[in-house]
């Protein structure tokens, strides 16, 4: 239930990106470089030219999948990550982290306004 609420809130509020960089990773790339690459294509197979272009222009493929780690547990799928984040959220916001005064205040608020 907590996981579904977090995933739903995140989906509605966090914008998604394409994951591609907006600028070239190599600031030295110029029109002269582009002309040299085009002339290279006349004597080199197209597949090799595209590979060179991607490497020269800074295009890199990410091979590792981002994971979350908590202790010795790894979260790889989105569901596992959401669950791990939800558990961390619950731990951080637990009443056990409150001082005695904070616990009394929380109890008074709960009694006054009712628990959901």
Each domain of the chain, given as residue ranges in start order, spans: 28-61, 62-116
Please name the helix (run of DSSP H) or strand (run of DSSP E) that holds residue 12, with its range, or none. helix 2-13
Give dist(CA 116, CA 102) in Å, integer: 19
List, in sequence order, every residue forming a beta bridge with 74; answer none if it has no partner: 69
- Report the percent of the chain where pLDDT is more than 90: 9
Q: Whole-angstrom Cα distance, residue 45 to residue 101? A: 74
Q: For 35-48, what is the mean pLDDT?
A: 73
- Which pLDDT tens digit goes with each residue over 89-100? 988 888 788 888
Taking only the tens place, the pLDDT of each residue in 51-96 is 777 777 776 666 667 788 899 898 888 899 999 999 999 888 887 8
| DSSP 3-state of 87 | helix
CA dist 36 and 97 (Å) reads: 63
Tokens of 21: 């960089």
């Amino acid at each position: 239930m907590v996981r579904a609420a977090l995933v739903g809130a995140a989906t509605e509020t966090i914008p998604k990106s394409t994951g591609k960089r907006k600028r070239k990773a190599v600031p030295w790339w110029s029109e002269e470089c582009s002309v040299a690459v085009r002339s290279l294509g006349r004597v080199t197979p197209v597949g090799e030219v595209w590979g060179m272009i991607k490497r020269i222009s800074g295009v890199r493929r990410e091979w590792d999948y981002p994971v979350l780690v908590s202790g010795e547990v790894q979260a790889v799928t989105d569901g596992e990550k959401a669950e791990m984040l939800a558990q961390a959220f619950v731990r951080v916001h637990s009443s056990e982290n409150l001082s005695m005064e904070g616990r009394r205040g929380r109890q008074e608020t709960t009694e006054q306004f009712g628990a959901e």
